[in-house]
Amino acid sequence: MKDLMGLVLRRLGLGLVTLLVVSVLIFFAVELLPGDIAQAVLGQSATEETVAELRAQLGLERPAVVRYFDWLSGAVVGDFGISLVSREPVTEAISDRFVNTLFLASYAAVIAVPISITLGVIVALLRNSVFDRVANVLSLTSISSPEFFLGYILILYFAVKWQMFPAIASLSNDMTLGELLERTFLPALTLVLVVMAHMMRMTRAAIINLLASPYIEMARLKGVPPWRVIVRHALPNAWAPIINVVALNLAYLITGVVLVEVVFVYPGIGQALVDAVAKRDFPVVQACCLIFAATFILLNLAADVGAILTNPRLRHPK
């Protein structure tokens, strides 16, 4: 147990260091943008007096290092400053949108994870068959297609030609769960098509890699049915790589939704990031980027811990 806790704490410490480095990159990347931030925000209405006033409000006269530590100390407690456009706290401006993004990612994950693992097991059972080849071709096609392309294809057929689902995922507070699921089905399906193929192929590869193991051969020689060999013997030992790839794809579902949210005009944090970049709302840009980085690092940490818990060789490396 001590070894396990030590491994988890080391992974957690490495994740915190990575997040600190990413926060430095995010903050100073904005600082290195050409031109004056206050001038860019004010645009054509900028005068010497208004620029000086805004620079004073933003604290731009102070050294960048001092402003970074002020921003970081506020971010640790959830205070990302004030939006330059709406003049409201950044946390309030993006909190509801982050919840919407989490809902969309969860919606896609509930569909993608069980289907991809099930299909991975089936194609491992039927490897080198016609079904396996067709599944491989379809999965490679899905992986190779960009999200915005898949989104527009789904809009063309499901929204324009067949009129089954709305093309724009507009949300309101008085919607029922059924209406919410219907409105968000197309963006969720786009994410499912992107991540499901990768998870299915990794599941298939992990199981096929184990089928050459001696204990699998012994089970086959005893006359155990092929499906039981995979479900009872191969699958439990393949959980480590499967959990890893599932966690990484869940991270992608949250951090890679920017294009999908823009295509379907979905009110998530990805759309908020794009709007903030267009309006030069730098506090919102920094907050969204840091949230994306923290989410990705946290789910990577979960993948590492899941792999450690399911693989005794990682728990006892000696």
**pLDDT tens-digit readout, 153-168:** 999 999 888 988 888 8
Spell out the residues 6+ positions from residue 69 whose beta carbon is closer than 8 angstroms to its own.
Answer: none
Task: Tell me what pLDDT residue 185 has.
Answer: 92
Task: Tell me what pLDDT residue 314 has.
Answer: 58
Does the model's pTM come out above 0.85?
Answer: no
Residue type, 195: V
Q: Percentage of the chain surpassing pLDDT 90?
A: 5
Tell me the average pLDDT across 139-155: 85
Between the alpha carbon of residue 226 and those of residues 43, 90, 152, 205, 220, the distances in Å are 68, 55, 41, 16, 7
Pick 37 or 185 by higher pLDDT.
185
- Selection from 32-36, 156-160, 314-318 with the highest mean pLDDT: 156-160
> Measured between alpha carbons, how far is 280 from 296 in angstroms, rounded to an integer?
25
Q: Which CATH architecture has domain 98-311?
A: Orthogonal Bundle (1.10)
- What 3-state DSSP class applies to 162? coil
Cβ–Cβ < 8 Å for 138, 198: no
Strand partners, 82: 89
Cβ–Cβ < 8 Å for 276, 41: no
Between the alpha carbon of residue 259 and those of residues 152, 191, 199, the distances in Å are 11, 10, 21
Task: Tell me what pLDDT residue 295 has.
Answer: 87
* Average pLDDT value for the chain: 82
**pLDDT tens-digit readout, 206-251:** 878 777 778 777 877 888 787 777 777 777 777 777 777 888 888 8
**pLDDT tens-digit readout, 52-107:** 777 777 677 778 788 888 888 888 888 888 887 777 888 888 888 888 998 998 99
Kindly tell me the burial class for residue 43, based on how many C-beta atoms sit within 10 Å of its own C-beta (0-12, 13-18, 19 or more).
Answer: exposed
φ and ψ at residue 82, rounded to 5 degrees: -115, 135
For the chain, the domains span: 2-76, 98-311
> Measured between alpha carbons, how far is 259 from 104 in angstroms, rounded to an integer?
13
Between the alpha carbon of residue 314 and those of residues 206, 242, 244, 246, 318, the distances in Å are 17, 15, 13, 18, 9
Task: Tell me what pLDDT residue 74 has.
Answer: 86
Residue type, 103: F
pLDDT above 60 for 146: yes
